[in-house]
Amino acid sequence: MSTLTVEGLSVHYGGVRAAHEVSFTVEPGQSLGIIGANGAGKTSTLKAVMGLAPRRATAIRFGEHDLLRAPAHTLVRHGIGYVPEGRHVFPGLSVEKNLLLGAYTRSWKQTPIDEVYELFPVLRDMRGRLAGALSGGQQQMLAVGRAMMCRPKVMLLDEPSMGLSPKLVGDIAAALKKLNADGLAILLVEQNAKLTFDVTTTCLVMENGEIAAGGTSAELSDDPRVRRIYLGL
Ligand code: ATP
């Protein structure tokens, strides 16, 4: 069983400080959310964990693997799935080929493609279509499905609700809750606090690149300041 540990993570782009001394852990099977306004540093934090943004950190570990020394492309082999902001599906490839690309570390016969199709039946129906022809919601399902294909132990998701209708946000939430109930640990980074409180049990609030608050998602969703700023209530 592997815990994702992030200690003292800072991200700078030249003179711009995007994240400062961020620390958290994601235990096996846990669902952790990070909410925050536009520009709070959520994407930079996730990218830095993946080795895709300039970073300094005391430690970034997954189980016994030291991710500070692991090149980004090896993280998937350690069991870390990543769903980037903006989906980044391959528009000129079919849905099925996009999924199979997610399994590049595994032999073709062992892929969990049937589990993906069970979770998102619309992807089975559209498996021969070009990914670029899918709606935003279907592309988001494809991005989550592609990350499932390496059988991750933890999945890092960056703003999966972006640009989706409330109905599709609900569908994505249901899928994430199912994956988590089946044992997948989830780190969900979102501007959509309502979705995050729905999907996760524990949550951090990020402001100006720092962790400003944290607690159970139930506690935070009852906090008057959080309700005012992040839920508009
Ligand atoms: P969003 O919800 O809009 O994605 P965020 O909370 O994910 O916001 P980041 O995208 O991590 O925040 O941005 C944090 C800060 O870093 C912002 O001030 C942003 O302008 C800056 N920033 C992000 N990426 C870069 C970059 N490649 N070069 C320079 N500055 C950047």
Question: What is the tens place of the pLDDT at every residue in 147-175?
Answer: 999 999 999 999 999 888 899 999 999 99
Pocket test for ligand 1, best of 11, 12, 16, 196 (most atoms within 8 A of CB): 16
Rounded to an integer, the average pLDDT of 208-221 is 95
Q: Supply the pLDDT for residue 107.
A: 64
Helices and strands (H, E) in the chain, number of each type = 9, 11
In this predicted complex, what is the ipTM?
A: 0.94
DSSP summary character for residue 130 = B
The total of other beta-carbon atoms located within 10 Å of residue 147's CB is 22
Residue 124 clears pLDDT 90, i.e. is over it: yes
Q: What is the DSSP string of 61-80?
A: EETTEETTSS-GGGGGGGTE
What confidence tier does 69 reach under pLDDT thresholds 50, 70, 90?
confident
CA of 27 to the centre of ligand 1 (A): 26
Residue 106 clears pLDDT 80, i.e. is over it: no
Tell me, using a 6 A CB cutoff, whether residue 41 lines ligand 1. Answer: yes
CA of 97 to the centre of ligand 1 (A): 31
Virtual CA dihedral for 89, 92, 95, 99, nearest 10 degrees? -50
Rounded to an integer, the average pLDDT of 1-21 is 95
Global confidence as pTM: 0.94
Residue 233 clears pLDDT 90, i.e. is over it: no
Q: What is the DSSP string of 139-191?
A: HHHHHHHHHHTT--SEEEEE-TTTT--HHHHHHHHHHHHHHHHTT-EEEEEES
Q: Supply the pLDDT for residue 108.
A: 61
Provide the 3-class DSSP secondary structure of residue 85. Answer: coil
Tell me, using a 6 A CB cutoff, whether residue 5 lines ligand 1. Answer: no
Q: Supply the pLDDT for residue 110.
A: 79
Pocket test for ligand 1, best of 17, 44, 191 (most atoms within 8 A of CB): 44
Pick from 71-80, 100-109, 177-186: least confident: 100-109
Provide the 3-class DSSP secondary structure of residue 49. Answer: helix
d(CA 156, CA 153): 10
Residue 109 clears pLDDT 80, i.e. is over it: no
- Bridge partners for 156 per DSSP: 82, 187
Question: What is the tens place of the pLDDT at every residue in 26-46?
Answer: 999 999 999 999 999 999 999
CA of 159 to the centre of ligand 1 (A): 13
Which residues lie closer than 8 Å to 123 by C-beta, 6 or more apart?
A: 95, 99, 116, 117, 138, 141, 142, 145
Nearest to 221 by CA among 11, 213, 188: 213
Q: Supply the pLDDT for residue 104.
A: 77
Q: Supply the pLDDT for residue 105.
A: 73
Pick from 103-107, 171-175, 183-187: least confident: 103-107
Percentage of the chain beyond pLDDT 70 is 98
Closest atom of ligand 1 to CA, residue 40: 6
Q: Supply the pLDDT for residue 192.
A: 93
CA of 86 to the centre of ligand 1 (A): 14
Percentage of the chain beyond pLDDT 90 is 81
